[in-house]
Structure 1
Amino acid sequence: MLAPRKKLWSTPERAVTAAIDFVAPFKEEDVVYDVGCGDGRVLIKFAMLEGTSTRTKFVGVEIDEDRANEARENVEREGLSQRIVILCENALMVDYSDATVVFLYLIPRGLRLIKPILLGEEGKRGGGRRIKIVTYMSEFEGETFVRKVNVEPEHQKGAGWPVHLYELEAQEASLTG
């Protein structure tokens, strides 16, 4: 079981369950990213899902070194080090060209910044492929979601926060400088 060292923003279990309902089971060709993965709980849950291929690749991106190390420890504790990689990097500098599914629990500004990178508008992503993107709490501006559910976090009785699924086309990466 995960043993968090410090309590920061963590994705509520009900939001993870909604995300699973949207995108699982994962296939062997899937590469699943969790941007701002924190302690790794979302990726661990995804990787342990029944019906998910053992060849599915999972990547966590976490800018905070302590949280990235915590995620790595949790991944190792669960015996998933061969399937889950945790990067300690700025999410805006990561190459998502292999991503087929991305989970984002970011504020609107973060979504605005990462959207062009995920969709190839920055020339960092090979294109012509569909990518499933799940956002928790905030919407992708200018995009139409395919599904939406509201979840009540365990720690906020009566609150209803949205989980959105987008299925978007990534643009072909530019070959010119």
Structure 2
Amino acid sequence: MLAPRKKLWSTPERAVTAALDFVAPFKEEDVVYDVGCGDGRVLIKFAMLEGTPAGTKFVGVEIDEDRASEARENVERSGLSDRIAIICENALMVDYGDATVVFLYLIPRGLRLIKPVLLGSEGGGGGGRKIKIVTYMSEFEGETFVSKVNVEPAHQKGAGWPVHLYELEAHGAV
């Protein structure tokens, strides 16, 4: 299935399932981003969801070229190259103007840095387009989540890590 290369942090399956429960079903016009996509497992699981329209687009952003290559290989192996694009770039330099759903597994500092890039200068205020944002483990400072569940990763018995859903206004170009 997924080709393992390096021993790096990856999103546990239970967190991916919880995130999917928050954002599915996808629509034809959805553009779904995974920032720091690693080996591509989140996007592959999302794209393989039964009933997802063929027009739904999935984009992985990965700064590390080795991990981006690994994600591309996994996407190719899964037969989803026509639906999932992997870009190797600094996530803070990406234009998310078409994003309708974003998955983030970042530390609090990373969330503070990416928030204005995703939402624009107005933050979570009114007047923009709605965007669903799912964070794993950390919360967006200054924002109120719509839903939250705790998941217990298979490799950490007894641990309960949060998955949050935010529905925020984005003020970037569309």
TM over 0.5: yes
Query: TM class, shorter-chain normalised?
Result: over 0.9
CA distance in structure 1 between the aligned counterparts of 2:82 and 2:149, rounded to whole angstroms: 32
Unaligned 5+ runs, structure 2? none
Mapped to 1, the partners of 2:52 and 2:101 lie a distance apart of 13
Q: TM-score normalised to the size of structure 1?
A: 0.93
Indicate whether 1:59 and 2:59 are aligned: yes
Deviations 1:37-94 (A, max 9, x none): 0000000000000111111000000000000000000000111111000000000000
Query: Match of 2:166, SS?
Result: strand
- After TM superposition, which residue ranges in structure 1, 4 or more long, deviate above 6 angstroms? none
SS of residue paired to 2:134: strand
Show structure 1 runs of 5+ residues with no match. Answer: none
Q: Assess if the C-alpha contact under 8 Å between 2:118 and 2:172 holds in 1.
A: no
Aligned to 2:166: 166
Aligned residue pairs: how many? 170
Deviations 1:89-125 (A, max 9, x none): 0000000000000000000000000000100118xxx
Structure-to-structure mapping, 1:79-158, within 5 angstroms: 79-121=79-121, 128-158=128-158
Q: SS where residue 19 of structure 1 aligns?
A: helix
Q: 2:136, 2:172 → 1: CA distance?
A: 27
Deviation at 1:9, TM superposition (A): 0.6
**Paired amino acid for 1:16:** V
RMSD over equivalenced CA pairs, Å: 1.4
Counterpart amino acid of 1:133? I
Report deviation, 1:171.
Answer: 2.1
Between the aligned partners of 2:59 and 2:131, the Cα distance in structure 1 is 15
The amino acid across from 1:2 in the alignment is L
Using the size of structure 2 for normalisation, the TM-score is: 0.95
Partner of 1:9: 9
- State the distance in 1 between where 2:105 and 2:36 align: 7
> 1:129/1:65 Cα in 2 relative to 1: closer, same or farther (>3 Å)?
same
Distance 1:97 1:171 in 2: 8
